[in-house]
Amino acid sequence: MFWKKASKMPPSPVVLITGASTGVGLALARRLWKSQFRVVLTAREGSLKRFQNETFADPHFFVRPLEVTSAESRLALKNWIDENLGGVDILVNNAGISYRSVIEHMSDEDLRKQIETNFHGPFSLIRMLLPKMREKGWGRIINVSSVGGMMAMPTMGAYSASKWALEGATEALWYEMKPWNIGVTLIQPGFINSDSFKSVYLNEQAKLSSTDAQDPYHEYYRRMVPFISEKMKKSRSSSDDVASVVFKTMLSSNPPLRVAATKDAWFFGLVRRILPRQWYHLILFLCLPGVFRWRNTYKLKDYYSESEKTPTDFKKTG
């Protein structure tokens, strides 16, 4: 028989949450406190001190360091969980970073860090944990994506690239794991009322452009930064709202591939499916803040001056 017979959730499933020291990860940890789950909370070494302010006085809660981009750190965590808890039943890939930069300003190192944190690291963890899930015939893999995984915005191209990669690979994994009763889900939040927009990365070139009014991309940064922060401040969705969606997905006997975690994420998904793609992109373009002023401060070079030949001046020779 192709389909592996479904088994029930283990009595005390082990949940691994990456990026658990803030935001959605921390909100989910609070929801799981004093539950049937054994929970492993992870964060970078420098962020572990944040857990000191939490009252996770529960013998089923464990705090471990994890640098998601480090193969050595990932392996050390897996080995510790295998030895002490017998493996992971539910993986919540929540850790991530975001660069705010136009494509021209992204260096190779910036792109590498963005992709490794949001895509390569999470899927390296998945590959390490799948064998035990398949042996048990049960598991849950929940990847926290974003509306940035289905629509792109200027100055956030690298972030969207990492989330689109996450979405594509997760969709493939959803098919691959069906016979093993391993649920694979993408959680797609939109704007969340939090201070996470303050944690975005700006490289040196982006910082210079944002302060230099004569820079070709100055208006991009000047307009987009307050635009995004305003959307987040006015959002009625919180990290706890998203954590609630993740929690319900964990408990689902048949979790879907994609779950919109906020109302705006649901709306963007609907508009993207309904509108012809040309209209969809035009509408989004017109909604960008001050888009018709983005080039006003920059004078294009006149490549064809009166003293130079234009392409039509050349005659066929030979």
pLDDT at 194: 78
Q: Let me know if residue 308 belongs to a domain.
A: no
Name residues of the chain where pLDDT drops below 50: 1-2, 303-304, 306-307, 309-318
List, as one string, the DSSP characters of the chain.
--SPPP-PPPSS-EEEESSTTSHHHHHHHHHHTTSS-EEEEEE-GGGGGGGGGS----TTEEEEE--TT-HHHHHHHHHHHHHHHSS-SEEEE-----B-B-GGG--HHHHHHHHIIIIIHHHHHHHHHHHHHHHHT-EEEEEE--GGGTS--TTBHHHHHHHHHHHHHHHHHHHHHGGGTEEEEEEE----SSSGGGG-B--HHHHHHHH-TTSTTHHHHHHHHHHHHHHHHH----HHHHHHHHHHHHH-SS--SEEE-SHHHHHHHHHHHHS-HHHHHHHHHHHSTTGGGTTTT-PPP-SS-TTSPPGGGPPP--
pLDDT at 58: 73
Q: Let me know if residue 73 belongs to a domain.
A: yes
In one-letter notation, the amino acid at residue 7 is S
Give catalytic status of residue 280 as yes or no: no
Q: Let me know if residue 50 belongs to a domain.
A: yes
pLDDT at 314: 44
pLDDT in tens, 194-234: 766 567 899 999 999 999 999 999 999 999 988 888 888 88
pLDDT at 315: 46
pLDDT at 151: 92
| Pairing mode, strands 38-43 and 90-93 | unpaired
Q: Let me know if residue 196 belongs to a domain.
A: yes
pTM above 0.85, yes or no: yes
Q: Let me know if residue 291 belongs to a domain.
A: yes
In one-letter notation, the amino acid at residue 212 is D
Q: Let me know if residue 6 belongs to a domain.
A: no
Q: How many domains does the chain have?
A: 1
pLDDT at 18: 98
Q: Let me know if residue 275 belongs to a domain.
A: yes
pLDDT at 301: 56
CATH of the domain at 214: 3.40.50.720
Q: In which domain, by residue range, is 263 found?
A: 14-297
pLDDT in tens, 115-145: 999 999 999 999 999 999 999 999 999 999 9
* Residue from 99, 159, 217, 221 carrying the catalytic annotation: 159
Q: Is 62 left (phi over 0), alpha (psi -120 to 50) or beta?
A: beta
pLDDT at 316: 47
| Pairing mode, strands 182-188 and 139-144 | parallel
pLDDT at 78: 98
Q: Let me know if residue 193 belongs to a domain.
A: yes
